[in-house]
Amino acid sequence: MKRAYRYRFYPTDAQAAELSRTFGCVRKVYNLALAARTHAWVTRQERVNYIAASAMLAAWKKTGELAYLNEVSSVPLQQALRHLQTAFSHFFGKRARYPRFKSRKKSRRGAEYTASAFRFRDGALMLAKMTGPLAVVWSRPLPEGASPSTVMVSQDSAGRWFVSLLCDDPGIQPLPVNGNAVGIDAGLEHLLTLSTGEKITNPRHERRDRAALAKAQRRLAKKEKGSANRARARLKVAKIHARIADRRRDGLHKLTTRLVRENQKIVIEDLTVRNMDKNRKLAHAISDAAWSEFRSMLECKAVWYGREVIAVNRWFPSSRLCSACGTLQDKMPLNVRTWTCDCGMTHDRDVNAAHNLLAAGLAVTVCGAGARPQRSTPDRQPATKQKPSQRKP
């Protein structure tokens, strides 16, 4: 099983300049190829694939205007074309929107190197056209005898440098099968409520840094656009956001690993977080809870360890249905946290919902009604309505 190991590293000034130049060239090639593919279809109804785009790249390098593309390694540029091809495949498969141009300010800064463009030996990582090995902080060991197939170098908005090594991990093996199954109801007061009755507190990571973040954002708003002071203020805001995201990701990793290890079947609700974020009163709290990220981690680890994640239909009335007698209540406002059914059973709203989700999820093994197994692809971005000029570039 392939697994990526991510580490921080600290480049020298020369390495940082070379990597920044590479990031810019990767972005330029991606945008040029996207423009060429779109223009070819709109004007000539011609489809441009990866092979044709690669030939275009060779021609671009020979022009005086784009001769600087020869100054960086050619492998990250070729990988950018492959990534564009993958983006179009997702678009044609209605799993994503039409590919968009990469922005210098907003897009992720990164470059991917294949085996021909790097050397990994005795814990030292060397990249093509780079002076000296990267000063990587090996915070955890790679699998014994691991030989990375690709290396991804990136820089986040807080200015931190990361390197990700993709290699085979023999330690990822299916766990022993057990008969445990759990239903999970996501919430805001409690991040998760399990059908076992356990409630996991919402850590609200953003709240801890809310005052510092607001202060940094006020200072950023007062800086003149394009000035060095604004760049420094923006970096301070980005560092606070990165600290919040790191804490949130760490907590979700620990939580999802525990759930996958303890349960054979995990039933969750198929929430449409994108639509829920439109609620102005709850959008902030919903984003901080990171339900989408939780689901992605859970499904990924379930594949690794031979577990099953089942998503129940979002319209299933898990909160209004009595888990004891099956009576469906007409209304259930959000402020109602406990309620008593006509059968005399008193329910905790969230625990009752988790019980109902578990029952509905297990029913999928019998008839498949009202639930579906985990998604086969991690891409959750919905397809949008295609414009006539963008249907088959």
Residues known to be catalytic: 185, 269, 350
How far is it, in rounded angstroms, from Cα 268 to Cα 184?
Answer: 5
Q: What DSSP letter does each residue of 131-179 carry, written as one string? A: SS---B---SPPPTT---SEEEEEE-TTS-EEEEEEEE-TT--PPPP--
Burial class (CB in 10 A: 0-12, 13-18, 19+), 280: exposed
Could you tell me how far CA 238 lies from the centroid of its own chain? 18
Quick one: which of 337, 321, 379 has its CA closest to 187?
337
The Cα–Cα gap between 285 and 36 comes to: 42
> What b/e readout covers 227-242, taking b as 16+ CB neighbours within 10 angstroms?
eeebeebbebbbbbbe
3-class DSSP state for residue 319? Answer: coil
- The single residue listed with the structure tokens 């440098």 is 161
Select from 378, 365, 381, 186 the least CA-distant residue to 299. 378
| DSSP tag of 278 | T
* CA neighbor of 308 nearest in space, from 192, 178, 199, 169: 178
DSSP string over 227-261:
SHHHHHHHHHHHHHHHHHHHHHHHHHHHHHHHHHH
Give the 3-state secondary structure of residue 215: helix
Give the list of residues 6+ apart from residue 194 with CB closer than 8 angstroms, or none.
182, 183, 184, 200, 354
